[in-house]
């Protein structure tokens, strides 16, 4: 297991380096935004003295490298700064929205993962059948449409008929069952978007293993096709399946921005879009870095789990 821990350490170091580079890109991108934040906050009628005082208060009069270092060091200590639009600590805004985004991602994952694995296994079992072709056509159709188009189609079919709400209004006091009901459409949108990739990877991994000699031996012993797949093919296909599932979970965390905007879902994506509209730079930087950290950590988890599920990597000679 020593090489596994070495791999984890290498991936973790690479993840830290990646996050550092991403933080530089995020800070640099916000620096390149046009306009003056101080004038945006005070309005066009502000006097030069007032503008200078606000720039000094916000640290805008300092060089960019100094401001970057101050921002990054405060972020690492858990101090995200203060929102200029809401005059509230950014940590309070994020803590109020982070749980909603995680809930939506887990909700979509709870729907997408079992559906994808089931469809992938059945498509591999009935390869080139009508079911296989229909599943592939449906998956490719779902993944070809952008999220906002899928969301609006679901609103047209399911929300305007009164089955589900088109706007999600949840708060910390909302009952769990009510959350499941109100967040069904955004969760279904994310499910349709990510199911295709996981289903096709599962199908491809299992079909690739079905050509192996030990699978042919199992057939010669008279085992049923379903038992061959579930007992012999699936366990050996876990590495690529786990990898693609973890990568899609990372997408569910970081790719919810469009879906949250369409359904007015009170999550981090909606918070980031509102911050961009209000030119609340500190909030944009904090949320973007949180999304990047979530994606890097889930990629690290995918690498570790795929390694642990592969006996050839666990028992090197």
Burial class for 63, CB neighbours closer than 10 Å (0-12, 13-18, 19+): exposed
d(CA 126, CA 206): 12
CATH numbers and ranges of domains, the chain = 2-76 (no CATH), 90-314 (1.10.3720.10)
Per-residue pLDDT at 36? 67
Per-residue pLDDT at 317? 52
- The residue behind tokens 């050839």 is 312
- Cα-to-chain-centroid distance, residue 26: 18
Nearest CA-CA partner of 41 in 27, 57, 28: 57
Per-residue pLDDT at 313? 58
Mapping DSSP onto H, E and C, the string for the chain reads CHHHHHHHHHHHHHHHHHHHHHHHHHHHHHHCCCCCHHHHHHCCCCCHHHHHHHHHHHCCCCCHHHHHHHHHHHHHCCCCCECCCCCCEHHHHHHHHHHHHHHHHHHHHHHHHHHHHHHHHHHHHCCCCHHHHHHHHHHHHHHHCCHHHHHHHHHHHHHCCCCCCCCCCCCCCCCHHHHHHHCHHHHHHHHHHHHHHHHHHHHHHHHHHHCCHHHHHHHHCCCCHHHHHHHHHHHHCHHHHHHHHHHHHHHHHHCCHHHHHHCCCCCHHHHHHHHHHCCCHHHHHHHHHHHHHHHHHHHHHHHHHHHHCCHHHHCCC
* pLDDT per residue as tens, the chain (317 positions): 566 677 778 888 888 898 889 889 988 888 777 766 777 677 777 778 887 887 787 777 788 888 888 888 888 888 888 887 777 888 888 988 999 999 999 999 999 999 998 999 888 888 888 998 998 888 888 888 888 888 988 888 888 888 899 888 888 888 999 999 999 999 999 998 888 888 988 888 888 888 788 888 888 888 887 788 878 787 777 777 888 888 888 888 877 888 999 999 999 989 998 888 877 888 888 998 899 888 888 888 877 777 777 656 555 55
Are the C-beta atoms of 307 and 7 separated by less than 8 Å? yes
């Amino acid at each position: 297991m020593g090489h596994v821990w070495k791999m984890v350490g290498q991936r973790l170091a690479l993840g830290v380096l990646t996050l550092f580079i991403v933080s530089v890109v995020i800070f640099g991108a916000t620096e390149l935004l046009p306009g003056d934040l101080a004038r945006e906050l005070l309005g066009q009628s502000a006097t030069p003295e007032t503008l200078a005082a606000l720039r000094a208060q916000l640290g805008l009069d300092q060089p960019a490298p100094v401001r970057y270092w101050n921002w990054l060091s405060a972020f690492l200590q858990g101090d995200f700064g203060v929102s200029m639009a809401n005059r509230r600590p950014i940590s309070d805004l994020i803590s109020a929205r982070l749980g909603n985004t995680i809930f939506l991602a887990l909700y979509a994952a709870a729907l997408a993962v079992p559906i994808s694995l089931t469809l992938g296994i059945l498509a591999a079992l009935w390869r080139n059948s009508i079911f296989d072709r229909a599943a592939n056509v449906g998956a490719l159709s779902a993944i070809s449409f952008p999220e906002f188009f899928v969301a609006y189609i679901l609103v047209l079919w399911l929300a305007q008929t009164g089955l589900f709400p088109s706007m999600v209004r949840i708060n910390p006091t909302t009952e769990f069952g009510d959350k499941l009901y109100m967040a069904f459409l955004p969760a279904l949108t994310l499910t349709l978007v990510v199911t295709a990739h996981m289903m096709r990877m599962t199908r491809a991994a299992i079909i690739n293993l079905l050509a192996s000699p030990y699978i042919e031996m199992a057939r010669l012993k008279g085992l049923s096709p379903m038992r061959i797949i579930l007992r012999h093919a699936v366990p050996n296909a876990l590495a690529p399946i786990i990898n693609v599932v973890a990568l899609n979970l990372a997408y569910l965390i970081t790719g919810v921005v469009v879906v949250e905007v369409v359904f007015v879902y009170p999550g981090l994506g909606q918070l980031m879009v509102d911050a961009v509209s209000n030119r609340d730079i500190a909030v944009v930087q904090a949320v973007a870095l949180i999304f990047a950290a979530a994606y890097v950590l889930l990629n690290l988890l995918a690498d570790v789990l795929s390694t642990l599920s592969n006996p050839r990597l666990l028992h090197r000679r």
